[in-house]
Amino acid sequence: MAKKPVYKQFIVKWPSKSLIDGITGHPELGIPDYDNAMKQFQHMIDTFKSLDIKVIELKAAEEYPDSCFVEDPVVIIPGELAILTNPGASSRNGEKNLMLPTIKKYFSEDKIKYIKAPGFMDGGDVLPIGDTYYIGNSARTNMEAIKQFEAIVKPLGKKVVPIPVTEFLHLKTGTTYIENNNLLVTGEFAHTKEFDKFNKIVIPKEEDYAVNVLYINGTIVMPANYPKTKAMLEKLSGYKKIVEVDTSEYKKIDGGLTCLSVRF
């Protein structure tokens, strides 16, 4: 079994007032409430800190409504390097430039790599499990970017496995890994053969948003108010505890828990 990651610090970026204009595939959920989004964000940060995580907080960027979703413009290979991804949505592409000054504080120039056009990628499509990186081939991440990513990480002993994504925005919109060989899946990923080696916890369609969880050094952090998913997680052994964080305002603009931080 792969060695479990130990996370020490997370990068987060405060939401802007313009998040009401964020990209959404679910307009029926309504427009985010900014004040409530701020409260939820603070609670998330407090939760991370309670788990002994150093939280690196970046200021809001009003010109980029979706820029609080810092996972998409950068992927960090812990202890190795950082990859600026060239995000797939044109309105978000400039977010990589916002992240670069912070990344340069933690990585030297030779340890910062770039996905370049015609390749485009969102970090939400990158699912690391041990030394294997499952990468969603989605509307936001093309095969050219996946090939570039593979060329960057292969010398580090990492393997890349492309996964077709048709039902979801990103790979991690439909699956996340919580160590101990446990993989949360929903929708199309319940039948993805590349995931057959894992113990699949199949999240019901009515709670599919709750498939996007964080494993933080033995603790599972999950979206609040998904009782069926929580009950399924509570049956698993090998975890310290399960903590709920409300991210309902971010759900309105296609964001989940993993989207809101870069972990290393």
Catalytic positions, please?
Answer: 170, 259
Helices (H), 56-191: 95-106, 143-153
In 3-state terms, what secondary structure has residue 197?
A: coil
Report which DSSP code applies to 29: G
Chain centroid offset of residue 243 CA: 17
In 3-state terms, what secondary structure has residue 219?
A: strand
**What does the alpha-carbon distance between residue 138 and residue 154 come to, in Å, rounded to a whole number?**
22
Torsion angles phi and psi, residue 168, rounded to 5: -120, 165
Dmax of the chain from CA atoms? 46
Which amino acid, residue 122?
D
Chain centroid offset of residue 262 CA: 7
Handedness of CA 22, 47, 169, 142 (dihedral sign): positive
Contact between 207 and 193 (Cβ < 8 Å): no
